[in-house]
Amino acid sequence: MSSYAVGIDLGGTNLKAALVHRENGIEEITQRPTEADQGPQHVVDRIAALADELRTQAPAEIRGIGIGSPGAINWERTTVTRPPNLPGWDSVNLTSLLREQLGDVAVILENDANVAGLGSAFHGAGRSVDSFIMVTLGTGVGGAIIYNNKIFRGSTGGAAEIGHMTIDYEGPYANTGVAGAIEGYIGQKFLSDHARDRLVNYPDSLLHDLVDGDLEQLNPRILYEAASEGDEAAERILAWAGHKLGCVLGAAINLLDIRTVVVGGGVSAAGDFILEPARETLPNFVMPGLRDDVTIRQEVLGNEVSLLGAARLAFEGREAHV
């Protein structure tokens, strides 16, 4: 049985791909622009070219190709529906289209947050536990439930949409229309909007200088940069985000009785500026009988965790989920 697979991370801006050894991890990695504005078939062609490029570099025939994608994935893990930032993708059977170009090779598709969770389970911050909740903080807020080292997918494949769990039924609306959903607070755009509003009260904040006075340029990376320099406004804004995160994680733990949380995604690079307030808040929203051993860990592998998880789909096939 081959020890090699190709993992692909399908994003609205970039396609990332890696040749992965089952035990040793990533051996080759590459990326190119998605060019999503040219439509689904063009993107499929680019995915096929990347996959073909990497499989020719493998010392042996690859086990298959795993793909992490935004959007809703069907139960058979072949089709993605309405992924954000990919115009024209109403419902695309990615597996079928890729096999037309690549031949008889196994292709397995999965939600990008689930793939990140699987990668963390075998290569990252989740390795030391069998079960954990994964939260990805980026443009949106994604989630995965890893149970006994497998993805829990629910009844149709759509489980763990933590970003759309509400913490305030009268709160701001996320893009999905759910009032008070956590994504409506700490998704990248929403968090940046909140920061701009708060800065009215901090005219001397370093943040004004970092964006040359143009607050439209403000983003979580700049918030982290300012917080690292001891900027009070940035620290307080990130702590506010951490508090909101702790609230929603308490609800998830009460529901699932899974005590470990792994936080990844680009916004998680703010580290303890967000995670420490979340750790302080979390016990207040967990029932007393479930508070023992509750922990929040940062996933430090960055984008690599998704590529590793996508390849793991190919290694495990349909056994990767429960």
So what's the pLDDT on residue 321? 75
116 assigned to some structural domain: no
Write down the pLDDT at residue 192: 95
Strand partners, 19: 6, 28
- Whether 118 is covered by a domain: the verdict is no
Same domain, 56 and 107: yes
Same structural domain, 254 and 148: yes
Residue 293 within any structural domain of the chain = yes
Residues β-bridged to residue 132: 146
Residue 68 sits in a domain whose CATH number is 3.30.420.40
240 with 152, same domain? yes
Q: Which residues of 255-292 are buried (b: 16+ CB within 10 A; e: fewer)?
A: ebebbbbbbbbbbbbbeebbbebbbebbeebbeeebee
Could you tell me the sign of the dihedral formed by the alpha carbons of 285, 287, 290, 293, in that order?
positive
- Residues 142, 135 contacting (CB under 8 angstroms): yes
Domains: count for the chain = 2
Digitized pLDDT (tens) for each residue of the chain, 322 residues in all: 679 999 999 998 899 999 999 999 999 999 999 999 999 999 999 999 999 999 999 999 999 999 999 988 999 999 999 888 899 999 999 999 999 999 989 999 999 999 999 999 999 999 999 999 999 998 889 999 999 999 999 999 989 999 999 999 999 898 889 999 999 999 999 999 999 999 999 999 999 999 999 999 999 999 999 999 999 999 999 999 999 999 999 999 999 999 999 999 989 999 999 999 999 999 999 999 999 999 999 999 998 999 999 999 999 986 777 7
State residue 285 phi and psi, 5-degree precision: -115, 10
Does residue 199 lie within any of the structural domains? yes
**119 falls within a domain:** no
Question: Domain range for residue 107?
Answer: 4-111+306-320
Query: Where does residue 103 rank: exposed (0-12), middle (13-18), buried (19+ CB within 10 A)?
Result: exposed
Q: Are residues 275 and 132 in the same domain?
A: yes
179 and 253 fall within a common domain? yes
166 and 213 share one domain: yes
Distance (Å, rounded) from C-alpha 184 to C-alpha 174? 4
Q: What is the DSSP letter of 318?
A: G
User: Do residues 211 and 168 both lie within one domain?
Assistant: yes
pTM of this prediction? 0.93
